[in-house]
Structure 1
Amino acid sequence: MKFLKRLRKGSAFSEQQGQPPARFLHCGDSAIAVELASEIDETANQRVIALADSLDKRPIDGIEEVVPTYRSLLVLYDPCIIRGQKLIEALGDRLASLVVSAEARRTFSIPVLYGHEAGLDLEEMAKMKGISPEEVIAIHSSADYRVYMIGFAPGFAYLGGVPEILHTPRRKVPRQHIVAGSIGIGGKQGNINSLAGPSGWLFLGRTPLKLFDPNRTEPFMLRAGDVVKFRPVEREEALELDAAVARGEVSVEANIL
């Protein structure tokens, strides 16, 4: 508790980094959530990713896995190797010296077939916003989206950067089946569905690319910190890509910026 009080009063970490003190929340007896901000923003997410990378490169004995989210990092540990309070102290020391360097961001161009069978809400969203479906597509595909986190399902990407005009609440009654690769909006978040399943998001189209493939060397195509740009394609190209992906002939390359 003394350590937590020291953080709340202002530690070397908060003074040096100019960031709010971290909060350490026990999640059962074998996990700790390191909360680095109270609001979702890119700076907080950069710090989450930097902390996860630091723990990956210089592990603390007893940590079994880390899971980055929008503004916190879940740290799973073996309490037989390290006790929770000792881990909190070690994490606090790591945060005090954490360096958030300029990200070498991977940028992906994601082909999207807007409308048609998977774009279930394109027409409705256009009516809600008082613009044409073509304008919705143009606005949606003009933005750069940050992958804030992967979660909910394997490879499922939560995206920030949705243009404000497209912010739309989720459906009150979720649909029971949305196809894999569907491109959606929920509130001010964007997403790319990795697997087929139920969802309350609003969907504008789909990509033929597989965000999750257990047969790949890297099963998840995207990771937190990546940038996504959507590229509209016509139905013929989408069907050709579907066939090529099914044959394993499509290799997605990222630009490193």
Structure 2
Amino acid sequence: MSATPSSVLERAQAAGGHPAITYRQAGDRSLLIEYGEMELDLTLNFFVLAVDAALSERPVDGLLESAPGFRSMLVRYDPRVVSPAELVEHLARLHDSLPAEQEIEIPSRVIELPIAFDDSQSRAAVERYIRSIRKDAPNCEGANNIDYIVRYNGFNDREEFYAAVLATEHWTGFIGFFPGLPFMFPVDPRHTVVAPKYNPTRTWTAEGAVGLGGPCYAIYPVESAGGYQLFGRSLPVYDLQARNEVFRENPLLLRPGDRVRFRRTTEEELLSAFEDVRADRYRYRIEEHAFDVGAYLELREQVREEADERRRRREEASAEAEIP
């Protein structure tokens, strides 16, 4: 019996403050580069974005595009111009040229977005799900997902959960699934919140809805199906019609490496802001701030004990919670 062919072209061990790297063939004109082990570690994403930035500055002939994920990057190329081996060699040189993780700085923006917790559109999505898909879903008791998030994480009440959302910036690791949909993770590990996804998924979610799946937050860019636990609503993050000036150059508000800071508001104020966005009266609050990975590593070490205690509390609570 012949051995099963492997997609792996080459591997590199972790060294010099860089993670281990696996190069995989992905079809006849793409490479998938994976960094580190399959774990939730923001430093892997920082390295991915540093590589993507370096590749944009120093491309190789035949490179068509690159798409960063959380701990991987897909690179599409023209095989008539560059071979997989040549591309791997170029990427290896690029990796070697990068500084150690604690010395990396990533171009970043801080974007403030209003959020209305427990909004009517999120409740409507849950109610529709109960009526048409699954009336006994444990995550939808009380016709909302918020109480389930509170129970699953061991929070004392909703306000403690809301405080966790508001207390930290949220790192945009990558964009995907739908155009403009950000996958975001808390920068401060003390404020990590986790929840399993719907089972089965919803058929409808409002534009701007904010949800939680696993340890990841997302803002829904369009009306769509979805599986994240809904707890609030924010402003548009995608507009192909460019009805607001922020979308004139790019229909996507957020990009990998951006940080979102939520500001609490009422639903009435949010709906008014929604109208202002469409009428080009609203101005998104955006500030350019490079992200210092070394400072992040220092913060992570400083709060490790508190974050670990919060994780233990979360794990105890989740062990008692029913899974959808």
Which of 156, 175, 185 aligns to 1:160? It is 185
Distance verdict in 2 for CA 1:20–1:240, change over 3 Å: closer
Which secondary structure state, in structure 2, belongs to the residue aligned with residue 44 of structure 1? helix
Give 1:77-96 correspondences, 5 Å limit.
77-96=77-96
Answer whether contact 2:69 2:173 (CA < 8 A) is retained. yes
More helix per residue: 1 or 2?
A: 2
Which of 228, 246, 264 aligns to 1:201? It is 228
2:237 corresponds to: 211
Task: State the one-letter code of the partner of 2:146.
Answer: L
Answer whether contact 2:180 2:252 (CA < 8 A) is retained. yes
1:190 corresponds to: 217
Superposition deviation, residue 62 in structure 1: 0.5
Superposition deviation, residue 165 in structure 1: 6.6
> Is structure 2 residue 113 aligned with structure 1 residue 110?
yes
Unaligned runs of 5+ in 2: 1-5, 124-144, 243-247, 290-324
Q: Distance in 1 between matches of 2:56 and 2:41?
A: 23
1:252 corresponds to: 284
Which secondary structure state, in structure 2, belongs to the residue aligned with residue 111 of structure 1? strand
Which of 164, 170, 191 aligns to 1:139? It is 164
Unaligned runs of 5+ in 1: none
Give 1:121-140 correspondences, 5 Å limit.
121-128=145-152, 129=154, 131-140=156-165
Task: State the one-letter code of the partner of 1:210.
Answer: P
Distance verdict in 2 for CA 1:130–1:88, change over 3 Å: closer
Distance verdict in 2 for CA 1:127–1:44, change over 3 Å: closer
Q: Deviations over 1:219-250 (max 9, x none)?
A: 11111111111111012211210110121222
Q: Cα RMSD between the aligned structures?
A: 2.2
Q: Distance in 2 between matches of 1:220 and 1:20?
A: 30
Q: Distance in 2 between matches of 1:192 and 1:229?
A: 13
Q: Deviations over 1:186-208 (max 9, x none)?
A: 1111111111111111010111x
Task: State the one-letter code of the partner of 1:21.
Answer: A
Task: State the one-letter code of the partner of 2:237.
Answer: L
Task: State the one-letter code of the partner of 2:281.
Answer: E
2:300 corresponds to: none
Q: Distance in 2 between matches of 1:111 and 1:179?
A: 16
Task: State the one-letter code of the partner of 1:22.
Answer: I
2:18 corresponds to: 19
> Is structure 2 residue 51 aligned with structure 1 residue 51?
yes
Q: TM-score, normalised by structure 2?
A: 0.71
Q: TM-score, normalised by structure 1?
A: 0.89
Distance verdict in 2 for CA 1:127–1:62, change over 3 Å: same
Answer whether contact 1:140 1:163 (CA < 8 A) is retained. no
How many residue pairs were aligned? 249
Which secondary structure state, in structure 1, belongs to the residue aligned with residue 81 of structure 2? coil
Superposition deviation, residue 256 in structure 1: 2.2
Answer whether contact 1:29 1:84 (CA < 8 A) is retained. no
Which of 162, 173, 180 aligns to 2:207? It is 180
Which secondary structure state, in structure 1, belongs to the residue aligned with residue 105 of structure 2? coil
Q: Distance in 1 between matches of 2:110 and 2:191?
A: 22
> Is structure 2 residue 69 aligned with structure 1 residue 63?
no
Q: Deviations over 1:42-73 (max 9, x none)?
A: 21111111111111122111010000000111
Which secondary structure state, in structure 2, belongs to the residue aligned with residue 87 of structure 1? helix
Deviates more, 1:67-76 or 1:81-90: 81-90
